[in-house]
Amino acid sequence: MKELIKSIQEHILNLELDEKVDFINELKMGLHEVSPFNTEPVDCVLWVKNETVHANDYNPNSVAPPEMELLRHSISQDGYTQPIVSMIDGDTSREVIDGFHRNRVGKECKDIQKRVYGYLPVVTIRESQEGINDRVASTIRHNRARGKHKVESMSDIVVDLKKRNWSNKKIGKELGMDPDEVLRLAQISGLQELFKDHEFSKAWDDKED
């Protein structure tokens, strides 16, 4: 085993940077296929060129400037300790599911970009979660686990999921909300017609009289 590892190391050392990264990624993916943990995305962290990673258009997360600076400082001092959660979007592109600001730091902070050679660490979300509804739900679960999301954006997402025929119960289950929170977020957007069959609709009608 040690001789095999040494042989692989020697081969990698003789490659150019991009070839090294490609070879190591291929090696990781090959090991991931036979890993007892291959159902876990974190089992296979890859390095990809930062221009192939793009943000989604539904992330309700918000980071204030001081927190953004702290994230930059953390990555600068500690390195990338968490990969960006992504899904494959086309042949060479990836869409961010979680890690929008880690993605920004790696692209916008020149010292960090230089240190990681213009690459970003990513994991790939399970194929079963690549539908738009599942991606939105996954992004929100990651955000809510950290307690960060914009209420207005969350409201828009709840309404959008309702339009996609998600029930209140499913929205609550997938996004980690109780029924009252689902209702409150829907009310923010003022789309009462989406909830006309809800048990609270009579109370709304009474208020309009």
Tens of pLDDT, residues 142-179? 665 455 555 556 677 777 777 777 788 887 877 777 77
Facing residues of 97 across strands? none
DSSP-assigned letter for residue 41: G
- CB 164, CB 198: distance < 8 Å: no
∠176-98-71 over CA atoms, to 5°? 110
Is residue 25's pLDDT more than 50? yes
pTM of the model: 0.67
Helices 168-175 and 132-145: crossing angle in degrees, nearest 10, is 50
